[in-house]
Amino acid sequence: ARQLGALLVIAGCYHSPFPLHSPGSRSVVYFNGAKLLVETPKDPVYSFNGGNVTLPCYYRYEPDLEAKRKIRIKWSKLRDDYTKEQDVLVAIGKTYMAFGDFRGRAHLRQAGRREASLVVSDVRLQDDGKYRCEVIDGLEDESDVVDLQLQGIVFPYQPPRGQYKLNFHEAERVCQEQGAILATFNQLFQAWSEGLDWCNAGWLADGTVQYPIRLPRKPCGGLQLAPGIRSYGPRHRYLHRFDAFCFSSALKGRFFYLDHTAGMTLEEAKQSCQEAGAEIARVGQLYSAWKFLGLDRCDAGWLADGSVRYPIAKPRANCGPPEPGVRSFGFPSKGRFGVFCYKER
């Protein structure tokens, strides 16, 4: 009980007097004639939705202290500006407590001497981001930061009712309905660097509204501006309405296409997927299959939101524009098409 109380004190009340550091930097504090050093990898650690990941963290003393010390360890998730977003885990010795969404999914790996690595199982989309590993020795503490990046794809999304119809909270919901979450600025920037060019502004996870432009043009901020991320800045989360930029990760399951000679209505398409032991695929799953599985199908198919789309990895005649991408027929109220299905493994 005493250890449990101490863990709660660490999680709720402890404040570090030392500044935070960027990922991979070596943090140092002096006490008792020794230096406490905390080290994490400088390069990002990569994972995917549903995977397991270890965020490495080690500490040591210079000169080495032979006596065994009662170390406390705290892991926190950070925002992009390095302020704390949420507690993840605290530990004293072999006793630990995980918090919030990490309860039941996070534990310490202490296989090596003076190791304080965090293990997260069943990685979720919202786990993407920076994590602080903090080592506390008595009244002294030091920390370093690990950057966890999920392998994923950013895609723009408009609802069936058209362009610029979503406030922030509706944008969050529609991304979740499509097997995704609202993208962060870093994820949008990465997508832009890989070629994303989209002239409609959309919500991001921090409540800002932005859009990525590779080829400057008049309707997209003007010809004089250099390529980059155009920003409207923070917008009112209830009153202002835009599209959404969603982020989806790699798939664990099986993605496939079904068709009937005469095509299917949306309801028939849903039923066909169910009869195949699957469910009708969501938009985020289609984008992930296109990017990570190389899905290439020049046949349009229904998706769960009522849209009709098809993925092209190898552009060719009669299959849309000359660039790879996911093509859309919008949200037809009538028509008969095939269907994209998804089955979890």
DSSP string, 207-224: SEEEEEESS--GGGT-SS
3-class DSSP state of 25: coil
Lowest mean pLDDT among 19-28, 66-75, 84-93, 138-147: 19-28
Q: What's the pLDDT at 7?
A: 52
pLDDT at 6: 46
Give me the mean pLDDT over the 36-45 stretch: 96
Residue 4's pLDDT is 44
Is a pLDDT exceeding 70 seen at residue 155?
yes
Mean local confidence (pLDDT), 283-307: 98
Which residue is associated with the tokens 């092209």? 312
In 10 A of CB 19, how many CB atoms?
A: 8
pLDDT band with cut points at 50, 70 and 90 for residue 79? confident
Closest Cα to residue 141, out of 8, 56, 37, 9? Answer: 37
Please give the pLDDT value at position 140: 83
Q: What is the pLDDT of residue 19?
A: 38
Mean pLDDT along residues 105-114:
89
Look up residue 97 and give its two tokens.
Answer: 């407590």
How high is the pLDDT of residue 12? 45
**What local confidence, expressed as pLDDT, does residue 77 receive?**
97
Which has more pLDDT, 1 or 209?
A: 209
d(CA 39, CA 35): 13
C-beta of residue 305 within 8 angstroms of C-beta of residue 160: yes
| DSSP string for 115-183 | B-EEEE-S--GGG-EEEEEEEEETTEEEEEEEEEEE-EEEEEE--TT-SS-B-HHHHHHHHHHTT-EEP
Work out the pLDDT band at 251, boundaries 50, 70, 90: confident
Task: State residue 322's pLDDT score.
Answer: 95
Going 305 to 245 to 103 to 151, the CA torsion angle's sign is positive
Q: What is the mean pLDDT of residues 287-314?
A: 98
| Cβ–Cβ under 8 Å, residues 178 and 246 | yes
Copy the structure tokens of residue 250. Answer: 């790699």
Q: Give the CA angle between residues 27, 33, 35 to the nearest 5°.
A: 15
Mean pLDDT of 78-98: 91
Give the CA count within 13 Å in the CB-facing half-sphere of 285: 25
pLDDT at 20: 39
Strand partners, 315: none
Q: How many CB atoms lie within 10 A of CB 186?
A: 16
Would you tell me which CATH number, out of the four given (3.10.270.10, 1.20.1600.10, 3.40.640.10, 3.10.100.10), belongs to the domain 250-343? 3.10.100.10
- Does residue 21 surpass a pLDDT of 50? no
Is the pLDDT assigned to residue 296 strictly greater than 90? yes
Name the CATH topology of 2-150. Answer: Immunoglobulin-like (2.60.40)
Q: What is the mean pLDDT of the chain?
A: 91
- Give the residue range(s) of CATH 2.60.40.10 domains in the chain: 2-150
Question: What pLDDT, on a 0 to 100 scale, did the predictor assign at position 9?
Answer: 44
pLDDT of residue 18: 36
Does 152-248 carry CATH code 3.10.100.10?
yes
